[in-house]
Structure 1
């Protein structure tokens, strides 16, 4: 067993149960066996001093990092991206793919499926190819198509699909939502021109996530509220925000939280291969991306994912929340851990609470990562060691 103490611990299993203050976390093997604010039950094994101790981050939308992408069928390349984001505190993530041909999509799902089986990823996220051409964003428009039941069912039968983003207005879109939900995967709405009414129909059919809210989505209009309003107002839906300060203006973040509720807004990186890399030329699927001052764009000027990591998103949420420090930390934990874990249906991560997996991120007072632990193992250094070792 190992008892950790810190000047600031953010504990609790839900957005209305999270507490902040001096506290302790007790770890045995890969599990948290106790956690509370206040005086620890025994002498600390690891006094983290002025650190901020938060749960491991959960990223439900990430395409790559460290020069590596989840597309291409190369498992070692995919693991390079996993290790990079893990070192930045993301202890749980999906592997997000972009629109591709049926053969390439199946190749990538099969390759990432091995990493899912090994526990490196919690699943695969298909962002497309069943997206609206008018809102394709940084997806290859030549690969967009209507959902084919046979193709969709074959992918779902792999058992590796965690989430699928689609545009419900595509021919067969609502049926696809039903098939995804029936298979136990998360149906997400995004890259869509759907009306408010159609979005509500898709939610009724089983859609439960709004993919990067506002981005690649029909805008809000006073006579046609569009998908964003429908997604925010339904308590069954978790909405994503890319809180890198580029995709959505920070002034809007608090309005989204106020509308949807703190437990329903997930901060996602939407990171591509250029995350953690110098400016230069990269690829997102088949498309060429230029990164200048860490901003990724296609040659058309369209933003092509991000170069952010979840620790950056966490710090951004705290700094732009307009809340006192403790309340801001609660919001940041809800958005980077609790809400995405809920969206993905993961019961053992996303919070510092008894019984959860021992996923911990140690931040300094300026919210920079000092250490990361996943399932009781220190992973932020080149030579991992167990918490109890």
Structure 2
């Protein structure tokens, strides 16, 4: 029987009967890849890892990863998928949604079939929870880095074609497009999380999307109608509607620190930290690809299209947690936004928490909140946790 015992000076746990909290010190014991016991203090026996500083946290969950380490997930070959899956634990991410941006529906459907064929052969590493389709059902007015030539309405035929593989777990769409509310209902009934994004919708249209089943907003403030006192848009509804979880790219370039703090204050317990990482993430400055088109990674800041449009990010999710703490967010809240909240949003109560019965997906975050060691299903896949 494979067992694991980790003791930590500080540890975040999510008990079944209460909110997430810190144990100092605390321990977690796992058997056969599943957490069997969580407790305060130090248990008898010699731990497999004793963490003297930093924080033992649940493995991080990223719902928006376009690419990483030089590979764009939508058209990455087997080597690319293997690289991303095996190296994301370096950033503390133990589960993620590869994200395919706008392309013709037939092209996206083929990319999904390609991914389905690769998944069984991937090595141990970050778990692929499904696929996030960011488009093509987006607004031309708020297209951001997406190719306007491929944007289209979510017809029943298009939605059915994209659902065929069973891989789609999240879809970002603009609710003001023709047929969008019907599509939201269809996707929701199929178990797909719907997120409002790249949208010029009014707050009322977003509320209607939530009525139809939408539960998330993609990268709040970016590529969407915003906060205006006489013309409230997507961002306003994301902040005030308790049914919606605003995604936040906290690289401090996409959203300024004060605006990020506003999101956490206005939407307590609902914020989801995401990277929106592009293929340039984890790579030196240079030219890379997003959705088949070139992007440039500068010395400072996020990657850009030739016209200066932001094109994803170079952010690590552990750095997003650290940035949240640095702008004054409580560490428990910051970690929750990158673990339990996204896991619950996609219906995965078995990840994103340190609690009995959950997968033993864990990360040791150092004092700066960078990942020092990562375990997946009780096996150390990165770092030196002992």
Report if TM-score (shorter chain) is over 0.5.
yes
- Superposition deviation, residue 118 in structure 1: 6.6
Whether the 8 Å CA contact 1:113–1:124 is kept in 2: the answer is no
Partner residue in 1 for 2:243: 236
Q: Where does 1:1-389 land on structure 2 (aligned, <5 Å)?
A: 1-13=3-15, 16-72=19-75, 74-115=77-118, 120-261=127-268, 263-294=269-300, 295-321=302-328, 328-380=330-382
Residue correspondences, number: 378
- Superposition deviation, residue 37 in structure 1: 2.4
- Superposition deviation, residue 317 in structure 1: 1.0
- Superposition deviation, residue 346 in structure 1: 0.7
Whether the 8 Å CA contact 2:105–2:161 is kept in 1: the answer is no
Whether the 8 Å CA contact 1:57–1:350 is kept in 2: the answer is yes
Alpha-carbon deviations, 1:72-94, whole Å to 9, x = none?
A: 15233123222222221110001
Alpha-carbon deviations, 1:326-352, whole Å to 9, x = none?
A: xx2201211111111111111100011
Alpha-carbon deviations, 1:46-99, whole Å to 9, x = none?
A: 222224211100000110100011111523312322222222111000110010
**For 1:94, what is the secondary structure of its paired residue?**
strand
When normalised by structure 2's length, the TM-score is 0.93
Q: Pick which of 248-257 and 37-46 moved more.
A: 37-46
In structure 1, the gaps of 5 or more residues are none
Whether the 8 Å CA contact 2:12–2:20 is kept in 1: the answer is no
Q: Quick one: distance in 1 between partners of 2:380 and 2:117?
A: 23
Query: Against the structure 1 CA distance between its residues 162 and 269, is the aligned structure 2 distance closer, same or farther, given a 3 Å change threshold?
Result: same
**For 1:289, what is the secondary structure of its paired residue?**
strand
Alpha-carbon deviations, 1:226-266, whole Å to 9, x = none?
A: 111212222222110001111111112222122111x2100
After superposition, the CA RMSD in angstroms is 2.0
Whether the 8 Å CA contact 1:88–1:380 is kept in 2: the answer is no
Q: Quick one: distance in 2 between partners of 1:48 and 1:133?
A: 50
Query: Against the structure 1 CA distance between its residues 115 and 354, is the aligned structure 2 distance closer, same or farther, given a 3 Å change threshold?
Result: farther
In structure 2, the gaps of 5 or more residues are none
Q: Quick one: distance in 1 between partners of 2:54 and 2:256?
A: 29
Q: Quick one: distance in 1 between partners of 2:320 and 2:298?
A: 19
Q: Quick one: distance in 2 between partners of 1:21 and 1:235?
A: 32
- Following TM superposition, the consecutive aligned residue runs of length 4 or more in structure 1 with deviations greater than 4 angstroms are 115-119
When normalised by structure 1's length, the TM-score is 0.92
Q: Quick one: distance in 2 between partners of 1:86 and 1:293?
A: 24
Q: Quick one: distance in 1 between partners of 2:231 and 2:211?
A: 19
Q: Quick one: distance in 2 between partners of 1:151 and 1:253?
A: 35
Whether the 8 Å CA contact 2:7–2:42 is kept in 1: the answer is no
Q: Pick which of 334-343 and 152-161 moved more.
A: 152-161
